[in-house]
Amino acid sequence: MSLHHFLKTVFVAMLFAGALVQAATDTSAATEARSTADHSKFSALAGPFDSGPAVTKACLSCHTEASRQIHQTQHWKWEYKNPKTGQLLGKKHVVNNFCTSVRSNEAACNSCHIGYGWKDDTFDFASEENVDCLACHDATGKYKKPSGFAGNPVAKDTEFPPGSGKIIRGINLAEIAQKVGATKRTTCGSCHFNGGGGDGVKHGDLDTSLEAPDKELDVHMDVDGNNFSCSTCHKTEGHQVPGSRYAPTAQDKAPAHLRGKADTSNPATCQSCHGQAPHKVALVNDHTNKLACQTCHIPAYARGGQPTKMTWDWSTAGKLDKDGKFQTLRDENDYDTYMTIKGDFKWAENVTPEYVWFNGTVNYTLMGDKIEKANEPIQINRFEGSATDGKSMIWPVKVFRGKQQYDPVNKSLVITHLAGNDDTAYWKNLNWVKAVEVGMAKGGVKFSGQVDFIETESIWPITHMVAPKDKALGCADCHVSNGRLEKVDGIYMPGRGRDHAPWLEIGGWLLAALTLLGVTGHGLIRILTRKN
């Protein structure tokens, strides 16, 4: 090797090494810049702490306005009044076809409330120290709020249920408080991935596979790519988190958001980043007039290896095993398909969504609403929309089908006391009438003393698990007989089975043939007369 080449090689190596050092320095600086405070150095967080409220009291010594901000949010109130329908919604008011209602089951369900101690109607919503800061800001992964403690963490080893001999290990609240940070997929997911009583049960597009997904599962949350957290899209101001399922944005005609500029539109829509013409082909962009982005870009849900629950039949609950004991039956993948205290379930993976017109308005069947048994299931929530209202888009949804408790005399859905350690809870006595009687009394609702079962359906919009663009739906997924949109009313789709019209197809082919003939004839005339 000549001296020239040797020196050139050394010089390039030095440049490369320098670039590596600079990259490492930049990375380190970026990491350090994420927070301006080391919470382990704060004397207020030194602990020890014997309760959640004690931690919050310490947090408020610096974050003076945090609890008052939280008090204004749906996450805190679990309540939302729909201005379009006038319905008062939220977990305190809506009856569902999973565990039926939070009411009467607060000690168990409120493990997912961002507060401490909500066990009944005496909960103090005005208390600043009742706000749970750690639920969203834990960075250790060690923070837990066990079922049965009304949203309280366990700070010391505790026998639960009392007299059972089972010990719930206490957690070190000071250690967790000293390592708080920004929200992550895991902190949001600790509740939202486990809605309905277990991993992936409720939503279908939210489960623990999204804690560290690859690109095939979700292009936005891909840990080796964009690595979005939930708050990247659900951009939060003053602890107000946009994107509620009680007030969804079905059609967004606003331009893409300029981040940092004041904007009143929903930052959690696809259009807020991608704008109104995200595709290079104009014909594909034309589809966005009627199709929600999710319709093409989420070809299936429950794709991450975690199935979602599709049906739940409460009417079969109560069967004991051959020894007269409670039983749980499981399928070949070890998922429960029957429980004595809950009835029958069906699970599924890689589920093709159903599709509906949706204009953003959702009507609910509420406690006390009169409903009649019929051949069709009762709609727990009905997505409003049509092809002609000018506000609707075709959306992918999960339809969850159930069979749940019902008062045949008052003709209404009921609150059932399912959880709890008292003898009236269904899981202890398997007595529907007693469990419903207690639940309705706690909810302040009239009960006839009779229990029947009724078929119901609830709808959940599919908006997570966005697939890579090469896995999005193509023309042949819809423009064919029995395609994706076969059951959607109000539109004409070439190639769709229900739109098959022989005379129209013949006319189209004749028009195409005449066009070809005209173009060919014109070309021949130009060739023959080229000298002129």
Q: DSSP letter string over 360-413? A: S-EEE-BTT------SSPEESEEE---SSSSS-EEEEEEEEEEEEEEETTTTEE
For the chain, give me the number of helices (H) and strands (E)? 16, 15
* Rounded CA separation 174/50 (Å): 9
**Peptide bond connecting 267 to the previous residue in cis, omega within 30 degrees of 0:** no
Q: Is the dihedral of CA 440, 445, 450, 456 positive or negative?
A: negative
- Identify the pLDDT of residue 262: 58
Q: 480 with 496: CB under 8 angstroms?
A: yes
- Identify the pLDDT of residue 507: 79
- Identify the pLDDT of residue 163: 86
Nearest to residue 363, comparing CAs of 85, 38, 36?
85
Q: What is the chain's pLDDT, residue by residue, as a tens digit (532 residues)?
A: 454 444 344 344 444 444 434 444 444 334 444 678 899 999 999 999 999 999 999 999 999 999 999 999 999 999 999 998 999 998 888 899 999 999 999 999 999 999 999 999 899 999 999 999 999 999 999 999 999 999 999 999 999 988 889 999 999 999 999 999 999 999 999 999 999 989 999 999 999 999 999 999 999 999 999 999 999 999 998 999 988 888 888 888 888 876 655 566 788 899 999 999 999 999 899 999 999 999 999 999 999 999 999 999 999 999 999 999 999 999 999 999 999 999 999 999 999 999 999 999 999 999 889 998 888 999 999 999 999 999 999 999 999 999 999 999 999 999 999 998 888 999 999 999 999 999 999 888 899 999 999 999 999 999 999 999 999 999 999 999 999 999 999 988 888 888 776 776 677 778 888 898 889 988 888 888 877 6
Contacts of 35 (CB under 8 A, 6+ apart): 181
Nearest to residue 310, comparing CAs of 95, 97, 486?
97
Q: Is the dihedral of CA 239, 241, 244, 247 positive or negative?
A: positive
- Identify the pLDDT of residue 261: 59
Q: 268 with 242: CB under 8 angstroms?
A: yes
pLDDT in tens, 164-188: 899 999 999 999 999 999 999 999 9
**Peptide bond connecting 242 to the previous residue in cis, omega within 30 degrees of 0:** no
* Rounded CA separation 80/77 (Å): 8
Q: What is the DSSP string of 194-229?
A: TTTTSTTSSSSS-SGGGSS--TTT-TTT-TTTT---
pLDDT in tens, 265-314: 788 899 999 999 999 999 899 999 999 999 999 999 999 999 999 999 99
* Rounded CA separation 331/347 (Å): 10
398 bridge partner residues: 460
